[in-house]
Structure 1
Amino acid sequence: MTEQIEGIDPTVAPSGSGCVECDAAGGWWVHLRRCAQCGHVGCCDMSPNQHGTKHFESTGHPFIQSFEPGEEWYYNFTSKEMYEGGPELAPPHAHPADQPVPGPRGRVPADWQQHLN
Structure 2
Amino acid sequence: MEAAVAQCSHVAQIRQVVATSEGCQECLALGQRWVHLRECLSCGHVGCCDSSRGRHATKHHRATGHPVAGSAEPGESWAWCYLDEEVIDQ
Give the structure-1-normalised TM-score. 0.66
- Report percent identity of matched pairs: 47
Moved >4 Å (runs of 4+): none
SS of 2:12 mapped into structure 1: coil
Alpha-carbon displacement from aligned partner over 1:79-113 (angstroms, at most 9, x marks no partner)? 0010111xxxxxxxxxxxxxxxxxxxxxxxxxxxx
- Structure 1 unaligned runs (5+)? 86-117
Alpha-carbon displacement from aligned partner over 1:9-49 (angstroms, at most 9, x marks no partner)? 21x20011100000011111000000000000000000001
- Structure 2 unaligned runs (5+)? 1-10
Query: Which of 71, 74, 78 lines up with 1:66 in the alignment?
Result: 71
Q: State the AA in 1 paired with 2:85.
A: K
More strand by share: 2
Work out the CA distance in 2 between the residues paired with 1:22 and 1:75.
Answer: 21
SS of 1:64 mapped into structure 2: strand
